[in-house]
């Protein structure tokens, strides 16, 4: 299911809840759209999705969508980070308390995804909007089932 762009989010183009992907365009840098994907435990990832993520810590992958004719619709893999590294400067997010603290990231700081390629960077504004959507995908996939289980246990 693709969700249409929220007009308050200037960099977000599409959100795909089924594949846990956010498509964005960073207007501060003259570059092609990006695909940013959250990878959960059990998800396929890597070249041709040949690996399975086997850790509890979710990862975030960045793909350059500039040359689909060469790299296909999935884009060119650029970089992968632990979600906690992006949100909390290196701390792992496992609990609700950790996730609530995730707002501590400085929204003015962007990310340099590859120092060798000028366009492989993302401004603080764009990264903040993308991470806000990644947080929502995280809640839907990881935290919401735990809340339901806790409510059922207290009923």
Which of helix, strand or coil describes residue 121?
Answer: strand
**Per-residue confidence (pLDDT) for residue 89, from 0 to 100:** 55
User: How does pLDDT run across 109-131, given as a tens digit for each residue?
Assistant: 889 898 888 889 999 999 999 99
Supply the pLDDT for residue 22.
Answer: 97
Residue from 16, 11, 5 nearest 141 by CA = 16
pTM of the model: 0.80
φ, ψ for residue 46 (rounded to 5)? 85, -175
H/E run at residue 140? none
pLDDT digits (tens, 9 = 90+) for 4-18: 445 566 899 999 999
Instruction: Sketch the domain layout of the chain as residue ranges.
Output: 2-154
- Taking 70 as the threshold, does the pLDDT of residue 81 lie above it? yes
């Amino acid at each position: 299911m693709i969700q249409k762009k929220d007009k308050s989010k200037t960099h977000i183009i599409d959100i795909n809840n089924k594949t846990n992907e956010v498509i964005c365009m960073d207007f501060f840098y003259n570059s092609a759209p990006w695909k940013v994907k959250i990878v959960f435990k059990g998800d396929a990832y890597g070249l041709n999705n040949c690996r399975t993520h086997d850790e509890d810590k979710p990862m975030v992958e960045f793909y350059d969508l500039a040359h689909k004719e060469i790299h296909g619709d999935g884009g060119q893999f650029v970089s992968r980070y632990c979600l906690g590294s992006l949100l909390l400067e290196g701390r792992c997010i496992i609990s609700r308390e950790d996730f609530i603290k995730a707002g501590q990231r400085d929204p003015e700081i962007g990310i340099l995804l590859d120092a060798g390629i000028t366009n492989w960077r993302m401004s603080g504004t764009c990264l903040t909007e993308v991470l806000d959507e990644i947080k929502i995908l995280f809640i839907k996939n990881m935290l919401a089932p735990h809340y339901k289980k806790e409510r059922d246990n207290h009923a």
